[in-house]
């Protein structure tokens, strides 16, 4: 039915419960393909014993490269990307197949909804030792959100033909931060206008287990989050926030396929502030300088927001200084 691609990085205990939930809570047979990053915890031996397909790198290749490698081994029509710390709730594949059959073409992006660490706040434990599976299975049907527009997260399903056409994940977003909205943008450029989050396709998400466990690992330090956002901006010319608000209409109730954004005054006003002066371009020293220079409460609020990047583009810095100077001159 579906090729379920799961990247993992020495997270065997959670991977086991993820795969177990797929096997016991699915109606149909699915192809599971795991990409092993490093594998020092015995993941490869486990997958061999369970006769599960896998690809492997002896280092942490990250999500993007790992998923792309595994997806090349897929033999079904659909690619479903999932995290290794998901628990798939019963009937998920029946719901997903029903949605697929409603669409008369291959250009779509369908995603599930995450419980616990996601839109549905329902706590059954953040660690395996605290996980209350019975509580989850007794209540998941009664914990609801709504079908929504503009999902940019896993688990998501894409037709393999469409996946191959856009080249899967962009590997410059190592180890994976901001790769989801980048994939959405590539799909948008290809003409995809169905980005639907499905309320009845539920997974329980323990929540960034690997990131928490290896928070100081050189390949997944938290600074990569801002790096991914900067790469997105430089690649597409707009911020992730702008893309999600004006193109994907993220988190609004689903009302059918999307249209091109209405390019009105609000659009261009936000385009200027989100594209021309994105807050993460400002270093701590520049925020202080701009705040003193502007003397403007509104601008101080913008400049006081946290960021991690220093200016490297002298021209851009000069443009921002000129903007503030002119702004003050006309007050």
Closest by Cα among 88, 81, 67 to 9: 67
Per-chain mean pLDDT for the chain: 84
Give the residue ranges of DSSP H helices in the chain.
12-25, 43-50, 62-71, 92-102, 133-139, 160-166, 179-190, 209-213, 224-236, 240-242, 265-271, 284-294, 297-304, 314-329
Stated length of the chain: 331
Tell me the pLDDT tens digit for each residue of 256-286: 999 999 988 888 888 776 654 544 444 444 4
pLDDT at residue number 271: 79
Tell me the pLDDT tens digit for each residue of 17-58: 999 999 999 999 999 999 999 999 999 999 999 999 999 999
Same domain, 291 and 243: no
Same domain, 176 and 285: no
User: Beta 3-9 vs 31-37: how paired, if at all?
Assistant: parallel
Same domain, 76 and 35: yes
Q: Which residue has the higher pLDDT, 120 or 89?
A: 89
Whether 271 is covered by a domain: the verdict is no
Whether 255 is covered by a domain: the verdict is no
Domain range for 40 is: 3-247
- β-bridge mates for residue 57, sequence order: 37
Whether 270 is covered by a domain: the verdict is no
What CATH number does residue 43 fall under?
A: 3.90.550.10
By CB atoms closer than 10 A (0-12, 13-18, 19+), residue 329 is exposed
Tally of domains in the chain: 2
- Which of 18-32, 153-167, 287-301 shows the lowest mean pLDDT across its residues? 287-301
Tell me the pLDDT tens digit for each residue of 205-232: 997 655 555 455 554 454 444 688 889 9
Average pLDDT of 302-310?
40
Whole-structure pTM over 0.85, yes or no?
no
Q: Which residue has the higher pLDDT, 290 or 257?
A: 257
pLDDT at residue number 208: 64
């Amino acid at each position: 039915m579906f090729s379920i691609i799961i990247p993992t990085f020495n997270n065997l205990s959670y991977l086991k419960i993820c795969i177990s939930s797929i096997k016991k809570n699915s109606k149909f047979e699915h192809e599971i393909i795991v990409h092993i990053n490093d594998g020092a915890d015995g993941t490869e031996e486990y997958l061999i014993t369970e006769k599960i397909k896998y690809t492997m790198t002896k280092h942490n290749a990250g999500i993007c490269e790992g998923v792309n490698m595994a997806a090349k081994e897929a033999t079904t029509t659909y690619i479903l990307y999932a995290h290794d710390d998901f628990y798939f709730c019963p009937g998920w594949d029946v719901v997903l197949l029903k949605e697929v059959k409603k669409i008369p073409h291959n250009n779509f992006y369908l995603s599930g909804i995450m419980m616990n660490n996601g839109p549905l706040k329902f706590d059954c434990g953040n660690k395996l030792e605290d996980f209350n599976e019975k509580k989850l299975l007794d209540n998941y049907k009664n914990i609801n959100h709504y079908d929504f527009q503009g999902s940019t997260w896993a688990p998501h399903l894409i037709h393999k033909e469409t996946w191959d056409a856009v080249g899967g994940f962009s590997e410059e977003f190592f180890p994976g931060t901001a790769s989801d909205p980048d994939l959405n943008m590539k799909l948008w450029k290809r003409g995809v206008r169905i980005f639907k989050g499905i309320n009845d396709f539920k997974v329980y998400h323990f929540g960034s287990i690997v990131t928490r466990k290896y928070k100081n690992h050189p390949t997944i330090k938290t600074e990569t989050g801002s790096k991914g956002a900067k790469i997105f901006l430089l690649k597409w010319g707009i911020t992730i926030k702008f893309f999600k608000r004006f193109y994907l209409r993220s988190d609004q109730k689903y009302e059918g396929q999307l249209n091109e954004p209405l390019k009105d005054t609000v659009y261009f006003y936000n385009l200027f502030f989100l594209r021309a002066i994105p807050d993460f371009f400002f270093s701590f020293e520049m925020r202080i300088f701009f705040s003193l220079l502007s003397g403007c409460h509104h601008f101080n609020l913008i400049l006081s927001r946290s960021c991690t990047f220093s200016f490297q583009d002298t021209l851009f810095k000069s443009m921002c200084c000129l903007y503030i100077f002119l702004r003050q001159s006309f007050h």
